[in-house]
Chain A
Amino acid sequence: MSTDTGTATTTTTTTTVPPGRIGDSPLRPDGTLKVTGEFAYASDLWHDEMAWGVTLRSPHPHARIRGIDITEALTVPGVWAVLTADDVPGENAFGLEHADQPVLASEFVRYEGEPVALVAADHPETARRAAKRIRVDYEVLPAVTDARRAMDPDAPAVHRPGNLVRHLRLRRGEENPTAPVVVSLDFEVGMQDQAFLGPESGLAVPAEDGGIDLYVATQWLHVDQRQICLALGMPAEKVRLTLSGVGGAFGGREDLSVHVHACLLALRTGKPVKMSYGREESFYGHVHRHPATMTYEFGAERDGTLVYAKAYVLLDGGAYASSTNAVVGNAGTLGLGPYRFPSVAVDAYGVFTNNPPCGAMRGFGCVQAAFAHEALMDELADTVGVDRVAIRQLNGMREGDLNITGQVIDSAAPVGELLQIVADFPLPPERGEGADPRSLPGAVNNTTHGEGVVRGIGYAVTYKNVGFSEGFDDYSTARVRLEMTGGEAVATVHTAAAEVGQGLITVEQQICRTELGVERVVVHPKDTAVGSGGSTSASRQTYVTGGAVKAACEAVRAAVLERAALALARPAADLRLDGEKIVGSSGEVLTGLAEVLGDDAVEETVEYRHRPTHAIDPETGQGDAHVQFAFSAHRAVVDVDVELGLVKVVALDTAQDVGKAINPDAVVGQIQGGSAQGMGLALMEEIVVTDGHVRNPSFTDYLIPTILDMPPMRIEVLEYADPHAPYGVRGVGEPPTISSGPAVAAAVRAAVGKPLRRVPIRPEHITGT
């Protein structure tokens, strides 16, 4: 599958109207609604008589709360409730991996923006004004806002016993390797935000049974439910969640935001309570991508063959653990990229600071590391005098190789081929005289008519784990029901797997159509009435929930054939379900689905697990930590105004192995979006934090790429089936975010001729001002 598309319009493979089986690209049910502005996002939730909840947040990165006086806030007309830590009925703690984060701060606040109190009122403005009348007596404490400083034994501890969240130690091969060629570098990556367009939002409705129904935009309903139950002190059957319209996620919705707060207010007031963050609050309301400080060293033979790697990766986890542990796991086990290293020493650290908490974001630990290992591969290529593509191909992983944790890469690892594809793509034409200003750095801002503009080309390649790793029990549940409705066979698929905009609903329908031969597939609302669908993260849903839907369909099909076998007095093994017909071994129609089912429905619920992964050895980091690897390569072509430091990305082309494109249009969409997000980190996206304070919590100053920043893309999709995965699929969503940024950074370095060891690359870095 090869496509050449703009980013605004997808003119890829032809769109197929039903049947819409796997390999087709049926229209998404939410697509037209989103384009026309009619899609109901979580921020559109409404309930008669509902109250509005708002959050009072800490202005300090670190302080002791000496007291909170809510008296004045309670007197504001229209206020229904004001809550503090004392009002949390269960355990005042939540967290994805460790419940270390208070629902509402009690004794300490540990980052700027930490929730301290809640207000419910009959109007959001009333609630906001009342929140300003809450008097919090803070004793401001010294803040640890530098990750390196946090590592010092004498640094103030953000949590007891200390600031270390995880140290991943990985050793392989020789203990003190030497090589004739040694290159090294330091690299820094700034704090990126997910910048999803639909801010956090939810509606909690108290139920007659004393429980609560929460409608919320999230990535994993069941992990939310577990944490909410803990905080509310309620059993799971009393805390029911339903997914509402999600406007993007990218990891930023893995941790709780409004969830417990809205429930607390609803339970206290007895009213439905809606909470909806604005853009500014959203920057404080979710975790970000970990900033990284890295030191890398590669040893190689004179021909460029890698001999060893040493890497030090330090991730700033901010004030609470969130998923720092797993992000360190990725940065450590995957942090040298898709290359073969005989000897390796990696030390990856995640630490607590009083900076904003960092956690999951698309690419999850691999993004930061890729900037370092790809910059160093270029350095090595230049040092030994080998072409930058060729050196990656020389050292690139192949199927059957061991990675740095000693795990066999047991399906396709087309590193060399992906690089060759992007290297062979035609280059964009040279800039001519009288070029459209929009094609130049600065665009209509009219900063150059060609003066100072230098072109650069950069390459990068990556691999990323798909699914949860290091022994996590990573499964999805699917319930599929088949029945006749109005004379037509209808399948209903019910999973709790979150659709966050990536297109899972369409994929579920495609799998049901493929497996059951039906045309009509109803997707049940995503809720906790069915078992966990796992997280919509780690590029895992098509694989794991897709696998569960496939398995549930197979179970339904087997049950239907059993019924037919009974009716027909033939062995089920001789029967097939073909559309709405039951056929025999030579294809003869024996009976119809309508006859077999009658008024009954056949329903099966299946839990699907991918192959188990394993914890790594704590001393050596060795082990089969991951279930699957996904590979991608990018070539970036940039024009840089080297005098002003402004960049125009001219081309950002890519090749990626997806195993099997279940929905080719959706695959291309993921690759385009992921590439833009990676490019954004390379050139502009950074939450600027000074002394623990966020300085740019707005889309005025947190810049994300526009259509004038993102070029049309050439995309080549390979489909080397993974024999261990359903349909051979390989996760798609993350690799583009990992390899695009380093390719852009490399292209800028090539144009500018400076090391540029920090991203985002700012104009000041290019110009040296």
Chain B
Amino acid sequence: MDFLQPSSWQEALDIRAERPDAVPIAGGTDVMVDINFDRRRPGALLDLGRVAELREWGTEAGVVRLGAGVPYTRIVEDLADRLPGLAMASRTVGSPQIRIRGTVGGNLGSASPAGDAHPPLLAAGAVVEVASAARGARQIPAAEFYTGVKRNALEADELIAAVLIPSAAGPQQFCKIGTRNAMVIAVSAFACALHPDRRAVGTGIGSAAPTPRRAVDAEDFLAGELEGSGLWESRGELPETLARAFGERVAAAASPIDDVRGSAAYRLHSLSVMARRAVTWAWNDLRKAA
């Protein structure tokens, strides 16, 4: 197995084009596990650890451009104000050691339905920026990025450059179920974001469908109800019945399976509870901010 270590983004893209058999590796928290267990044996590893620009983040016009190689620890430390949902999710990733190594780019590359970063990216309306040497950069909305179980929209010659995430215009929440109180892979997860600027609601569901996905019907339902009842203006209390109905719609958007981590029924149930609670917390934060 070759170990390829480009020191610039352009070099990385060139190598990617030449070596379709290479597996890109950032923190290695997924890839190395697979290699250690001999689940895959790629012709080469393409180590992106020396590509400095991947480890940077910046903001432009209210959008955070998060380099694909920024580790979770830095998201928690640097971006809890701009990207509260993603920061909350980052805090639940693995152990401290995993959070120091692991990256959002890696989560997107693996595209596991259980990846913790996905739900907040979906809820915030993030866009994945990918690039190839031949065709340059293109942007893929997160909701279109996940194409199947552990599959994504990347072409064979593309690498993930960054994620573009609008700075939070309103409260965001992230909740995750695990059967112990730390270091768990999500049994189910939910993220929501309130976008009072455009009177919209964002959602993201994790570990409860073949891919991370939005609960579009729940989003539209809640935004419409808030509109209809004048709550966007009044910032009145969120009726419990509304939060509950939202939770049920979130659960209805999922299509989970039974597995060793949890039953499908529990995943649906927990999603409805998490969605109800999370949207209530978010709405209360919005009221407080008013």
Range class of the A interface residue count: 35 or more
Assuming A447-B176, A644-B177, A644-B273, is B184 touching A769 (CB within 8 A)? no
Task: Collect the chain A residues with CB atoms within 8 Å of residue B273's CB.
Answer: 452, 643-644
Residue of chain A at shortest CB distance from B270: A644
Q: Judge whether B167 is part of the interface by a CB distance below 8 angstroms.
A: no
In the A-B complex, the 5 residue pairs with the closest CB atoms? A443-B181, A708-B181, A708-B182, A769-B265, A769-B266
Query: Which of A80-88, A302-310, A378-386, A696-704 sits within the interface?
Result: A696-704
Contact of B177 among A447, A683, A695 (CB under 8 A): A447
Residue of chain A at shortest CB distance from B284: A449
Does B176 lie within 8 Å of A767, measured CB to CB? Answer: no
Give residues in A with beta carbon < 8 Å to B: 128, 278, 280, 438, 441-449, 451-452, 643-646, 648, 683-684, 688, 695-696, 700-701, 703, 705-709, 762-764, 767, 769
If over half of B's interface residues share one DSSP class (helix, strand or loop), that class is named, otherwise mixed; here it is mixed
The distance in angstroms between the C-alpha atoms of A684 and B182, with both chains bound, is: 12
CB neighbors of A among B250-282 (8 A): 260-263, 265-266, 268-270, 273-274, 277, 281
Task: Collect the chain B residues with CB atoms within 8 Å of residue A438's CB.
Answer: 181
Which of B92, B181, B273 has the most chain A CB within a 10 Å cutoff?
A: B181
Residue of chain B at shortest CB distance from A442: B181
For the complex formed, measure the closest distance between the CB of A694 and the CB atoms of chain B, giving whole angstroms: 10
Known pairs A445-B175, A446-B92, A446-B175 / 15 extra A-B pairs, C-beta < 8 Å: A128-B38, A280-B37, A438-B181, A442-B177, A442-B178, A443-B181, A444-B92, A445-B178, A445-B184, A446-B173, A449-B277, A703-B180, A763-B270, A764-B263, A769-B270
The distance in angstroms between the C-alpha atoms of A643 and B273, with both chains bound, is: 7
For the complex formed, measure the closest distance between the CB of B76 and the CB atoms of chain A, giving whole angstroms: 10
Task: Collect the chain B residues with CB atoms within 8 Å of residue A448's CB.
Answer: 277
For the complex formed, measure the closest distance between the CB of A690 and the CB atoms of chain B, giving whole angstroms: 9
Assuming A446-B173, A708-B181, A763-B270, is B277 touching A696 (CB within 8 A)? no
Q: Judge whether B7 is part of the interface by a CB distance below 8 angstroms.
A: no
If over half of A's interface residues share one DSSP class (helix, strand or loop), that class is named, otherwise mixed; here it is loop
Does A709 lie within 8 Å of B173, measured CB to CB? Answer: no
Contact of A763 among B88, B182, B266 (CB under 8 A): B266
Q: Judge whether B59 is part of the interface by a CB distance below 8 angstroms.
A: no
The distance in angstroms between the C-alpha atoms of A446 and B269, with both chains bound, is: 16
Contact of A445 among B181, B260, B268 (CB under 8 A): B181
Does A446 lie within 8 Å of B179, measured CB to CB? Answer: no
Range class of the B interface residue count: 20 to 34
Does B182 lie within 8 Å of A764, measured CB to CB? Answer: no
Contact of B266 among A648, A696, A764 (CB under 8 A): A764
For the complex formed, measure the closest distance between the CB of B274 and the CB atoms of chain A, giving whole angstroms: 6
Pick 6 A–B contacts, CB within 8 A, sort by A.
A441-B181, A683-B179, A695-B260, A709-B180, A764-B265, A764-B266
For the complex formed, measure the closest distance between the CB of B122 and the CB atoms of chain A, giving whole angstroms: 17
For the complex formed, measure the closest distance between the CB of A112 and the CB atoms of chain B, giving whole angstroms: 15
Assuming A280-B37, A708-B181, is B277 touching A445 (CB within 8 A)? no
Task: Collect the chain A residues with CB atoms within 8 Å of residue B263's CB.
Answer: 764, 769
Give residues in B with beta carbon < 8 Å to A: 36-38, 88, 91-92, 173-185, 187, 260-263, 265-266, 268-270, 273-274, 277, 281
Does B177 lie within 8 Å of A764, measured CB to CB? Answer: no
Does B261 lie within 8 Å of A445, measured CB to CB? Answer: no
Task: Collect the chain B residues with CB atoms within 8 Å of residue A706's CB.
Answer: 180-183
The distance in angstroms between the C-alpha atoms of A767 and B179, with both chains bound, is: 13
Does A446 lie within 8 Å of B176, measured CB to CB? Answer: yes
Task: Collect the chain B residues with CB atoms within 8 Å of residue A648's CB.
Answer: 181
Assuming A442-B181, A446-B174, is B38 touching A769 (CB within 8 A)? no
Assuming A444-B91, A446-B175, A451-B277, is B180 touching A645 (CB within 8 A)? no
Task: Collect the chain B residues with CB atoms within 8 Å of residue A446's CB.
Answer: 88, 92, 173-176
The distance in angstroms between the C-alpha atoms of A451 and B281, with both chains bound, is: 11
Task: Collect the chain A residues with CB atoms within 8 Å of residue B185's CB.
Answer: 700-701
Task: Collect the chain A residues with CB atoms within 8 Å of residue B175's CB.
Answer: 442, 445-447
Task: Collect the chain A residues with CB atoms within 8 Å of residue B174's CB.
Answer: 446
For the complex formed, measure the closest distance between the CB of A444 and the CB atoms of chain B, giving whole angstroms: 5
Does B180 lie within 8 Å of A688, measured CB to CB? Answer: no
Does B88 lie within 8 Å of A767, measured CB to CB? Answer: no
Task: Collect the chain A residues with CB atoms within 8 Å of residue B281's CB.
Answer: 449
